[in-house]
Amino acid sequence: MVPVNLKLSNFTSFSENPPELDFTKFKLAAISGLNGAGKSSLLDAITWCIWGNSRSGESSDVLIHMGADNMQVEFSFELDGHLYTVKRRRSKKGGGSTALEFWSGSPLHNLTEGTIKATQEKIIQTLHLTFETFTSSSYLRQGHADEFTTKGPTERKRILTEILRLDHYDLLEEKAKEKAKDAQTNLSLLDYQLLEIEAELSQKEDREKKLSVAEQEAKKVKADLQECEELIKKIQFKHQTIISAIKSFEEKKIQIEKIEKDLTDFKLLISLNEKAKGEFEDILKQKITIEENYQKLQKLQQEKSNLETKRSQLIKVKDELAAVQKILISREEKRQIAIKVIEIELKKLETENEQIQTQINHLNLNQQTCPTCGQMIGKDKNEQILLKNKDSINKNEVQILKLKEKLQKYQSVVLPEESKVNYLEKEVKILEEQTKHWTKIRDQILQLDNYQNLFIKLAQAETGVKTHQEAILDLKKIYDIKVKHLTSGQKELEQLLIFENKLKEVQKRLIAQETIRIELSQKALELERQFGEAKQLVSRTKQLEQLASQKHQQKSKLQKEKQIFEQLALAFGKKGIQAMIIETAIPEIEDEANKLLDNLTEGRMKVSLQTQRETKTKLESGEKGIVETLDINISDEMGKRPYELFSGGEEFRVNFAIRLAISKLLTQRAGAKLQFLVIDEGFGSQDAPGRARLIESIDAIKDDFEKILIVTHIEELKDEFPVRIEVSKNSTGSTFEMVGE
pLDDT over 60 (residue 143): no
Q: How many CA atoms lie within 13 A of 122 on its CB side?
A: 18
Counting Cα atoms < 13 Å in the Cβ hemisphere of 339 gives 13
Residue percentage of the chain with pLDDT more than 70: 84
Residue 611 has pLDDT above 50, yes or no: yes
pLDDT digits (tens, 9 = 90+) for 544-571: 677 778 878 888 888 898 899 888 888 8
More confident residue, 268 or 486: 268
Note the pLDDT of residue 86: 97
Residue range 649-653: mean pLDDT, rounded:
75
Per-residue confidence (pLDDT) for residue 187, from 0 to 100: 83
Mean per-residue pLDDT, 337-341:
88
* Distance from C-alpha of 71 to C-alpha of 62, rounded to nearest angstrom: 11
> Cα separation of 523 and 532, whole Å?
14
Could you tell me if residue 740 is left (phi over 0), alpha (psi between -120 and 50 degrees) or otherwise beta?
left
User: What is the rounded CA–CA span in Å between residue 312 and residue 427?
Assistant: 13
21 or 705: which leads in pLDDT: 21
667, 594 in Cβ contact below 8 A?
no
Helix (H) or strand (E) holding 685: none
What's the pLDDT score for residue 203?
Answer: 63
Q: Is 376 in contact with 368 (CB distance < 8 Å)?
A: yes
Virtual torsion, Cα 663, 668, 672, 673, nearest 10 deg: 80
Backbone angles phi, psi at 2, to 5 degrees: -115, 115
Residue 618's Cβ-side half-sphere holds a number of Cα atoms within 13 Å equal to 4
- pLDDT tens for 328-338 read 788 878 888 88
Give alpha helix (H) positions in 286-415. 287-365, 379-412
Does 46 have pLDDT greater than 90?
Answer: yes
CA angle 535, 538, 539 (to 5 degrees): 85
Q: Are strands 606-618 and 624-636 parallel, antiparallel or unpaired?
A: antiparallel
Q: Is 721 exposed, middle or buried (CB count within 10 Å of its CB: 0-12, 13-18, 19+)?
A: buried
Neighbours of 219 (CB within 10 A): 12
Q: Looking at per-residue confidence, does 703 or 723 come out higher?
A: 723
Residue 540 has pLDDT above 70, yes or no: no
- Provide, rounded to the nearest whole percent, the portion of the chain with pLDDT above 90: 15
- In this model, does residue 348 exceed pLDDT 50? yes
| Per-residue pLDDT at 146 | 64
**Interatomic CA distance for residues 537 and 532, integer angstroms:** 8
> Residues 392-407: pLDDT tens digits?
888 988 888 988 888 8
pTM of the model: 0.45
What is the C-alpha separation between 524 and 217, in angstroms, rounded?
A: 9
Q: Which residue type, as a one-letter code, is found at position 28? A: L
Report the relative pairing of strands 723-730 and 639-641 from DSSP bridges: unpaired
Residue 145, pLDDT > 60, answer: no
Tens digits of per-residue pLDDT, 477-486? 887 787 777 6
* Residue 238 pLDDT grade (very low, low, confident, very high; cuts 50, 70, 90): confident
pLDDT grade for 670, boundaries at 50, 70 and 90: very low
> Is a pLDDT exceeding 50 seen at residue 574?
yes
Using alpha carbons, select from 264, 250, 243, 257 the residue that is nearest to residue 493: 250
